[in-house]
Amino acid sequence: MKALRLALGLVCIVCGPVALAAQGPPGISEPLGAGPFNYRTGEGLNIRVTVLARLTAPYAMTFLPNGDLLITQRTGELKRIAKGTTKLLDVPGGPRAGGMPLRSGVHGYMGIALHPQFARNGYVYIAYLKPQAEGSRDRSIAVTRARYADGALHDPKDIFVGEGLGGPTTVAFTADGKLLIGTTEGGKAQDPTWLGGKMLRLNDDGSVPKDNPFVGKEGWRPEIFTLGHRTALGLFVHPETGVIFEAEMGPNGGDEINIIKPGLNYGWPLVSLGRNYPGPWQSKTNEPVHTGFEVPIVYWEPSISVTGLTFYTGDALKQWKGNLFVGGVRYGEISGTGRVERVVFNDKLEEIRRESLLTDLHQRVRDVKQGPDGLLYVATDEEDGAILRIEPAP
């Protein structure tokens, strides 16, 4: 069990000759207790954290209009927790993900999003790792669209296949009904002919919108919305403002929260606010700057290995209203140091303070979502992972 946790913690650490750095120290991972767990927090809010359900390697969450919770798993499965219950139910009918063992770091099912007109069409979109051919070990990321009804997926159809792209992939819908797909770089984040390391923007059927910023530009893929990304681990479209926020994992430092705007270049791998795994600054100018590129609104040094994110807009946790919450699977390259980070902004989206939460649980936090009940839900990416619920302490 401990060996598997360490293996899970090594995703994306490929440092070449620095073998010791790549392997990392043993860390401080430990099994999640039964709970509930009670905390005092920095805004004067006392919270209780309850273990709602346990499952293997949850990746991303989304709530259905009726309050049910859908959960993707890196094992290539989809689960559901019905509103007001703690029972974990299978959601059959989804696409078949690549069948590699969990300890390989492969992400079977990844990002999930509901169509803005879900109440009318029932469409669910899932990013997953697709086998390129029967019996082949070659896999590409893909996004499938399926109709959800009666606790199952129906008529799944791939609307996007990543042409050899791999790595974590996240999806979200914008206020105007366009599908965003955040991809992993694959070494070509600045290459306009390559879809890795980009934010892609598609119509809901996978076609390219005519108003994408690079449509008709020679040498550019028309799907590209922004470029210069390392790995987009989280996407959130603010329900009130429509602003697009991206959580981007850096190397050994340099995790970022970016505001996504059409046609902009976010700099990777030319610039970064972090260091690469052997220790030197990632930026070739030997300075941790973003000169000439879009600057993040939040960054971490050391890295927390950012994952899913959400802005809290509810009233149940009123002291946190307007705060950003983002998951992290480990801090400073030490396994067992995952957390939820809470960031407070002023009215210009300038950071004024932050707080680390749930650090004593020693879990890899993969996603954070606000529920329709105004509470926060957290997914822990472990072999014995869990869905946690954060509510005011009684």
Q: How many CB atoms lie within 10 A of CB 179?
A: 24
Q: How far is CA 320 from CA 37, 379, 392, in A?
A: 19, 19, 11
pLDDT at 290: 80
Q: How many CB atoms lie within 10 A of CB 38?
A: 11
- The CATH-assigned architecture of domain 2-392 is 6 Propeller (2.120)
Q: Answer yes or no: is pLDDT of 285 > 90.
A: no
User: Residue 14 — pLDDT band, cuts 50, 70, 90?
Assistant: very low
Average pLDDT over residues 112-139: 87
User: Residue 134 — pLDDT band, cuts 50, 70, 90?
Assistant: low
Cβ pair 289, 282 in contact under 8 A: no
Distance CA(258)–CA(255), nearest Å, equals 10
User: Residue 318 — pLDDT band, cuts 50, 70, 90?
Assistant: very high
User: Of all helices (H) and strands (E), which one includes residue 6?
Assistant: helix 2-8
Q: Both tokens of residue 273?
A: 């606010």
pLDDT at 307: 97
pLDDT at 291: 81
pLDDT at 108: 92
Q: Both tokens of residue 38?
A: 């009670």
Average pLDDT over residues 17-36: 72
Q: Both tokens of residue 45?
A: 């809010």
pLDDT at 132: 73
pTM of the model: 0.92
User: Residue 19 — pLDDT band, cuts 50, 70, 90?
Assistant: very low
User: Per DSSP, what are the bridge partners of residue 171?
Assistant: 181
Q: What is the pLDDT of residues 232-254, one digit of tens each?
A: 999 999 999 999 999 999 988 89
Residue 122's SS3 state is coil
User: Of all helices (H) and strands (E), which one includes residue 325?
Assistant: strand 324-328
Q: What is the pLDDT of residues 360-378, one digit of tens each?
A: 999 999 999 999 999 999 9
Average pLDDT over residues 73-89: 96
φ, ψ of residue 253 to 5 degrees: the values are 110, 165
**Diameter of the chain by CA atoms?**
61
pLDDT at 299: 94
pLDDT at 21: 41
Cβ pair 385, 379 in contact under 8 A: yes
Arithmetic mean of pLDDT over the chain: 90
Cβ pair 386, 51 in contact under 8 A: yes
For the chain, domain boundaries: 2-392
DSSP string, 12-30: T---TT-HHHHH-------
Q: What is the pLDDT of residues 253-279, one digit of tens each?
A: 899 999 999 999 999 999 988 888 888
Q: How far is CA 65 from CA 54, 92, 118, 144, 355, in A?
A: 23, 19, 8, 20, 31
pLDDT at 157: 98
Question: In the chain, pLDDT over 90 holds for what percent of residues?
Answer: 77
Cβ pair 281, 251 in contact under 8 A: no
pLDDT at 287: 66
For residue 376, which of 330, 305, 337, 323 has the smallest C-alpha distance?
A: 323
pLDDT at 161: 96
Angle, alpha carbons 140-181-144 (nearest 5°): 55
Question: In the chain, pLDDT over 70 holds for what percent of residues?
Answer: 89
pLDDT at 169: 96
